[in-house]
Structure 1
């Protein structure tokens, strides 16, 4: 992003939270990459991988992916197909974008609710990973919170963008 150019929706409270959560997700993903490197190096040196490395990398990747959705929604960076609407007036394009952001918000809230139910069920049943025996409910809980944040960011974005004179 160029200096001095503000992305509509990024300055909203959900957008600011999403940015910080995305940074944390990036840190988790870097840690997973370092763990993978360390495991490969250890396997190369003494023939043994780090125990549970695949589980930790899977969980870390899930967390990073979950938190990326909120950041993308706050920036309006979700997948958008403009091939069929680029010729329409800008105001109509914004209206169509708003409708799809509202649909995306609904999908995010549905996913948040389903992940909350999943987290509750995983916690109730005591589900754990195979190699390390780690509880898995908290990853679904993070996913639930992340999708709720993505839904909020998607809901707020059209209103913040509509008050931005540069949009």
Structure 2
């Protein structure tokens, strides 16, 4: 596999992990504020949660979730049924692997294609989050790039493995 694609997959996964850590930190803070609000309620006062918490989590998870796909593909971490294929001839195993890599490429490019249309529509409609007022369209970009990187890694596995076979 190409070193550049491997490094990009690693970087996407690390960035996705960083985003998940931010989600956990914000969720923990908001949960702590909820507990403090219940305690403060006993004394006739209140503690507000984080404004726009749901907006942030929704946008952040939409980025982070897709950023792990390229890393998973680079490490062949996808689901496969090896109970049957391990007993098949090597040539048939390779053919099945190539078939599913082709399906993976098609699915990743299909999703990227439609994400472009979704992003363009959200941008033209000037969709913003309900509390924070952040525009939603830029949060499509990490997912779109993840889908393209996923397809590139699967294609590299098809053609890179064919060169090594």
| Structure 1 counterpart of 2:42 | none
Q: Single out whichever of 113-122 and 78-87 deviates more from structure 2.
A: 78-87
Deviations 1:86-140 (A, max 9, x none): 2102332122111101110111001001101111111111001112111111112
Match of 1:18 among 9, 14, 31: 9
Larger relative helix fraction = 2
The number of aligned residues is: 156
**1:164 positional shift:** 5.5
Match of 1:34 among 25, 30, 37: 25
Matched, 1:93 2:93: yes
Matched ranges for 1:69-148 at <5 A: 69-148=69-148
Q: Single out whichever of 32-41 and 51-60 deviates more from structure 2.
A: 51-60
Contact 1:22 1:67 survives alignment (8 Å): yes
**1:163 positional shift:** 5.1
Q: Aligned partners of 1:115 and 1:90: how far apart in 2?
A: 37
Q: Single out whichever of 129-138 and 153-162 deviates more from structure 2.
A: 153-162
Q: Secondary structure at the match of 1:83?
A: helix
Larger gyration radius, structure 1 or structure 2: 2
TM-score, normalized by length of structure 1?
0.85
Match of 2:34 among 36, 43, 48: 43
Deviations 1:63-89 (A, max 9, x none): 111111111111111122223322102
TM-score, normalized by length of structure 2?
0.86
